[in-house]
Structure 1
Amino acid sequence: MRRPTVRLRVPTLLATLTLVAATGLAGPGSTAVAGPSTSSAGKPTVVLVHGAWADSSSWNDVVPRLRHDGYRTATPDLALESVAADVTQVRAVLDSITGKKILVAHSYGGIVISNAAAGRTDVLGLVFSAAFVPNEGDSIASLGAGFVASDAFHHLAFTGAAFASPAYIAPNLFRQYFAQDLPPARAGLLNAAQQPLNFPIVTTPSGPVAWPSTPSWYAISAGDRMIDPAQQRWMATRAGARTVELADASHAGGITRYAAQFTALVGRAAHATTR
């Protein structure tokens, strides 16, 4: 992975985020576990795990559709400080829910759910949207070897030491790299919800993963400017995932613009693993 260059001063970044929030673009708050602790009509609970530079509000287009289809959902907010802490957070949510679960992830969340589900019998399936799917020992950096690196990594603003602290994507370039297929207002909501990713996460190796023994599904975002679509196809194929391809989806497009199609994929995973 190419090393990014800091292009935006942190005070400017934080002032921009404050302005965006103040003008009403901030998304609604999220709850770690949404709704009752057990699902209905024999359906598994769907636990949705967000990625880097995001929070659980990134699922705001998917959760209502899942609820309409009769699923209870949980949307934990990750601290994005370390892989280990995020995995522990998701495992705690899984432990708090009675019954079977489907784990769903976007982006970096794919590493988290792959680790959190390892060795569990209550997780029936894994569903990914434009997400990393590691094998044990893989990191975000190593998974990108041989694929096109995102230019967004040249536009990070670190909150401390470069390459050793949490970093944001420059807000003025967020839509260009993360959500280019979304209207400015919708991309603005995602931009305002940015949570900084602690950069050492990029080189942290994955622990044991679930996908060798847990069925998986993958929605490839073919217009993604954060994770090379070719890398997504390779990871999905290696994991033996059942795939759909969203022809022009951005990194965020698969769970926003294509939320109906992605929700249907989650439903197929739930049906296939509970029939």
Structure 2
Amino acid sequence: MQSHPTTTPRRRRRRIAALGAAVVAVLTAGVSLTVPAEAHTTKPTIVLVHGAWADSTSWDTVTRELKDDGYRTVTPKLGLNSVAEDVAIVRTALNKISGRKVLVSHSYGGIVTAGASHGRTDISAFVYAAALVPDEGDSIASLGADFIPSEAFGHLVFTGEPFASPAFIDPAFFHQYFAQDLSKRQAAVLNAAQRPLNFSIVGTPSGPVGWHNVPSWYAVSGQDRMIDPAEERSMAAHVGATVVEFPTASHVGGITRLASRFAALIEHAVNSNRVR
């Protein structure tokens, strides 16, 4: 996939259209996505943290969009062995980057960015795509307690003791639950990149979190079969995020099929007058 260092008129029209679509979809009443007339002169680094049953390549389409527009991106690779280990991986990545950062997360990545950002003053904004966003003491299990559980949990393949070892989503069911809005070929690529999640992570409570008092944006995947969309809306409201709906998106559709719109949302977050 070839990168283009300069923005062509065609690409500029496409990105403007994508941002316009995101603006129309805003759900939070009274919140404007108007971009200030003067953009920031120094762009922050965009740090994108992947979720469970995936790896950093799940961000490839989004990062290509961002790089085409002159942003530096970093995509840490999580171990998916424990929350503490993954938080440490992202904190190490952040420590190696000078200047301001925008933290972007998908799915379980939201658990990780919440912890990795604690105590930092260099995070300008959070942007979430179908992400889990805990407060201190929350776990994946507790966040989902009042919502519809995913049927995908009935199709896990454990590498050891059931519910106490790393597990894959059964490849035969991956397309159906994780990426139903993608073509079979696209879903197969993501399926092949699947990495097991240590199931003990599901019940691990979060430590102190860093999203308080930092502006955030949340893209809800309206057809998500991994996380109840109602749960996504609840978490977005809890953190006070500006909410955008991707009504037809699967769990991963917002960062793949709709990557142009999601990248536009990230760029809006960078330039928003909510970000200092």
Give yes or no for TM over 0.5.
yes
1:42 Cα deviation after fit: 0.4
- Match of residue 252 from structure 2: 252
Assess if the C-alpha contact under 8 Å between 2:46 and 2:102 holds in 1: yes
- Measured against aligned partners, the alpha-carbon deviations of 1:59-92 in whole angstroms (never above 9, x if no partner) come to 0110010001110000010000000000000000
The range that moved more, 255-264 or 206-215, is: 206-215
CA distance in 2, matches of 1:73, 1:88: 19
- Match of residue 106 from structure 1: 106
Q: How does 1:158-173 map to 2 (within 5 A)?
A: 158-173=158-173
**Is the partner of 2:235 in helix, strand or coil?**
helix
1:211 Cα deviation after fit: 1.8
- Measured against aligned partners, the alpha-carbon deviations of 1:21-40 in whole angstroms (never above 9, x if no partner) come to xxxxxxxxxxxxxxxxxxx9
In structure 2, list runs of 5 or more residues that go unmatched. Answer: 1-39
In structure 1, list runs of 5 or more residues that go unmatched. Answer: 1-39
- Match of residue 28 from structure 1: none
1:146 Cα deviation after fit: 1.1
CA distance in 1, matches of 2:175, 2:235: 25
CA distance in 2, matches of 1:102, 1:263: 12
- Measured against aligned partners, the alpha-carbon deviations of 1:112-158 in whole angstroms (never above 9, x if no partner) come to 00111111111111110000010100000000011000000000000
What code does the residue aligned with 1:166 have?
P
- Match of residue 44 from structure 2: 44
CA distance in 2, matches of 1:73, 1:60: 10
Assess if the C-alpha contact under 8 Å between 2:215 and 2:275 holds in 1: no
- Match of residue 92 from structure 1: 92
Q: How does 1:1-275 map to 2 (within 5 A)?
A: 41-272=41-272
> Which 4+ residue blocks in structure 1 deviate beyond 3 angstroms?
none
CA distance in 1, matches of 2:197, 2:214: 28
- Match of residue 21 from structure 1: none
**Is the partner of 1:102 in helix, strand or coil?**
strand
**Is the partner of 1:60 in helix, strand or coil?**
helix
**Is the partner of 2:46 in helix, strand or coil?**
strand
**Is the partner of 2:153 in helix, strand or coil?**
helix
1:268 Cα deviation after fit: 1.0
CA distance in 1, matches of 2:175, 2:41: 40
CA distance in 2, matches of 1:207, 1:103: 18
What code does the residue aligned with 1:198 have?
N
Assess if the C-alpha contact under 8 Å between 2:50 and 2:56 holds in 1: yes
- Measured against aligned partners, the alpha-carbon deviations of 1:5-36 in whole angstroms (never above 9, x if no partner) come to xxxxxxxxxxxxxxxxxxxxxxxxxxxxxxxx
1:274 Cα deviation after fit: 5.2
> What count of residue pairs does the alignment treat as equivalent?
236
1:214 Cα deviation after fit: 1.2
1:206 Cα deviation after fit: 0.5
**Is the partner of 1:125 in helix, strand or coil?**
strand
Q: TM-score, normalised by structure 1?
A: 0.84
Q: TM-score, normalised by structure 2?
A: 0.84
- Aligned-residue CA RMSD (Å): 1.1
CA distance in 2, matches of 1:235, 1:209: 14
1:209 Cα deviation after fit: 1.1
1:58 Cα deviation after fit: 0.2
